[in-house]
A = this chain, B = another copy of it.
Amino acid sequence: MGARELGLPERVGPVTGMPRQVTIWEVGPRDGLQNEATTVPVEVKLEFLDRLAAAGLTTLEATSFVHPKWVPQLADAEELLERLRRVAGVRYPVLVPNERGLDRALAAGVRHIAVFGSATQSFAERNLNRGFDEQFAMFEPVVSRARSEGVDVRGYLSMCFGDPWEGVVDPAQVVRAGRNLLDLGCTQLSLGDTIGVATPAGVERLVTAFTSAGIDVAGLAVHFHDTYGQALANTCAALRLGVSTVDSSAGGLGGCPYAESATGNLATEDLVWMLDGLGIDHGVDLDALVATSTWLAGRLGRPSPSRVVRALGG
């Protein structure tokens, strides 16, 4: 008999400090698919979104309005959103890099957007073609226009724990970047370990730096990559401090888990397994989610890097 039929994982929690409920911010359709070399048909993306919603996920980062030249995989954003079968109670945020992206998003009827900031000067220059301080000037009209239209804005911060050019990142600088985004009008911050180098001690230090600066933990999300195998341990550390929004990607989609530069996202299935054991509500049907990731892996032509999908997938 399988582990699931035997009642595993056992629901043991709650653990001190952890929230009773967690919102999983599913990034697979956007962050997961954006680096796929082969174009994924819009019909597959739509079925993927349908199945994720049916599995109980309530926040699906659907696509991006980055210029198609930079992310050709998501060049079908308008068509996808036009054909998307929206499910009641499910949010479909999209990534918006600039005002032109916001125009496209608003025209498509989007109600939740995310901007993508950097915690470091080096990555701001390389990814945004802006300096550390200048990036906020770029985001200002995007966030203010969005908010004036009643659109919710998440602020991503990348390289919060380490940067591939600068190495160690000062938590005070990350807090400063986060404060800037909140002051612009962002309603949530997602703290990203873009290159996967964080460990639980660093997570504790950074989350504590935010709360010590008077920023409510309810407005913080965490976004871990499993490059060095630390993503779930880091997530657990954040939960202990009360973080209740966690980013993850169905099946661990994202980056290339088999290359030297492995940068896979935390797999939603592995997160759900842990949340189940911790007694934290999340609303996701694990078996339906595993079936979805197994199906998508078949469409992408390679196995999911998620341990749970490998163990339970057909």
Contacts and interface: CB of A to CB of B under 8 A. Distances in A.
B202 A277 contact: yes
A217 interface: no
Tallying the copies of this chain within the complex gives 2
A197 interface: yes
A235 B199 CA distance: 13
B228 A161 contact: no
A89 interface: no
Nearest to A239: B200
Interface stretch (A56-64, A80-88, A266-274): A266-274
A308 B230 CA distance: 9
A interface, size bucket: 35 or more
Contact of A197 (B3, B227, B313): B3
A12 B270 CA distance: 26
Interface stretch (A92-100, A131-139, A163-171): A163-171
A282 to B, nearest CB: 13
B13 A166 contact: no
18 contacts: A6-B162, A6-B163, A8-B168, A10-B161, A10-B199, A196-B311, A199-B278, A200-B278, A201-B277, A201-B279, A228-B270, A228-B307, A229-B274, A229-B307, A230-B274, A232-B233, A236-B237, A262-B307
